[in-house]
Copies of this chain bind each other. A is one copy, B any other.
Amino acid sequence: MTNDLLSHVGEIGVIRLIQRFFPDHTPYVKKGIGDDCAVLETGGEDLLLVTTDMMIEGIHYTTKTTSYEDVGWKALAVNLSDIAAMGGTPHTAFLSMGLRSSTPVSVLESFMRGFQEMACEAGVFLAGGDTVEVTSDSVISVTLLGRCSPEGLVFRSGAQVGDDIWVSGFLGNAAGGLEILLTNEHQEKRGRQILVSSHQRPSPRLKLGKALGESGLVHAMIDLSDGVAKDLRHICDESGVGAVLNRGSIPISEPLQTLAQDLSHDPFDWALSGGEDYELLFVSPPEYRKEIEEITINVMGRTATRIGLVVREQGLWLQTGGDRTQFPYGGYAHF
């Protein structure tokens, strides 16, 4: 193992290595590494949720496809989405940045404007952070705190055999938007702006996450940051179950369909492995279908989509008509 590089063990290997150094629990930590947020007891009625995301210039964002304002918005949005996936309500953010000293002040102002806009929309206050100098790629690290009642909390680990798998909105729009930006593919064409917005200004599903948590009808939930192919696997791993996705049910937007035709690309590739949609994926017993539809219509104005089923046999499958095939590993992974 000693001569191995991080590229050999991969992102999951790196996380497991880190986790190995802290095998025990403490009275404060109800849930540590392995969910969208850590969950802490701090003595109050509500639990404390904590999530943190690091974004690197050139890896997570490039100003070729995203304005500084959008980078600011997104830096907070991706963390808000993690709070949403626990059923929580965000309240306090910490923003650390490594910036080059040659960065124009106007760039920092643009970034902060986008960050502030997202914060206002979500009711989040910035209470601290750190600003340091870098000599190469800039780096942004946001830590976000939220709260949740013990009853409203939803983990990744509660999925049960027979549960429906739901998704809150269209999949693949963000990946399609990125494709448009990278290829300069007819940005003016009808519907394309929706895809571009999905990539540049994702809307975390805070209200829906909270409503689903409070309903008590949801067994497990995660936000779709790396693509269904990877994120659903987390629910399966943590719950000790498997999942079958019904290809025909995957919600693909009309603009994405059109883009896929224009570029001769399989839209399911974007939908399943593209990532960055920041929709919620959740599982719930079939007897609550009507209630789930009602909740999602109430909150979002339209119903969530049932895309599959939790099964006993561990693994992921894609059902296409009568055909069931093993689902390839996919989604974004570091190292």
Interface residues of A (CB under 8 A from B): 1-9, 11, 13-15, 17-18, 21-22, 24-26, 28-29, 31-33, 37-38, 40, 42-46, 48, 50-56, 58-60, 91-92, 94-106, 108-109, 112-113, 115-116, 119, 125-137, 139, 141, 143, 145, 147, 334-335
Contact = CB atoms under 8 A, between A and B. Distances in A.
Contacts of A3: 104, 106
A38 B2 contact: no
A138 to B, nearest CB: 10
A283 B229 CA distance: 57
| Residue from A1, A11, A132 with most neighbouring chain B CB atoms (10 Å) | A132
Contact of A92 (B8, B26, B130): B26
A58 B100 CA distance: 13
Contacts of A103: 5-6
Contacts of A52: 94, 96, 128-130, 141, 143
Contacts of A6: 99-105, 108
A128 B36 CA distance: 9
Contacts of A55: 132
Copies of this subunit: 2
A196 to B, nearest CB: 24
Contacts of A97: 54
B42 A48 contact: yes
Contacts of A105: 1-2, 4-6, 8-9, 13, 17
A147 B41 CA distance: 11
Contacts of A59: 132-135
Contacts of A17: 105, 108-109, 112
Contacts of A128: 32-33, 37-38, 50-52
A64 to B, nearest CB: 16
A96 to B, nearest CB: 4
Contacts of A106: 1-3
A42 B108 contact: no
Interface-centre pick from A17, A125, A137 (highest chain B CB count, 10 A): A125
Nearest to A40: B92
Contacts of A115: 21
A127 B38 contact: yes
A22 B119 contact: yes
Contact of A18 (B129, B137, B139): B129
B7 A101 contact: yes
Given A113-B21, A141-B141, A40 B108 contact: no
Contact of A139 (B60, B125, B139): B139
A125 B14 contact: no
Contacts of A8: 105
Nearest to A41: B44
Contact of A133 (B31, B51, B334): B334
Nearest to A31: B127
19 contacts: A2-B104, A5-B102, A6-B108, A18-B95, A28-B125, A33-B128, A44-B44, A50-B92, A50-B128, A52-B128, A52-B129, A52-B143, A54-B96, A59-B135, A130-B141, A132-B334, A133-B335, A136-B137, A139-B141
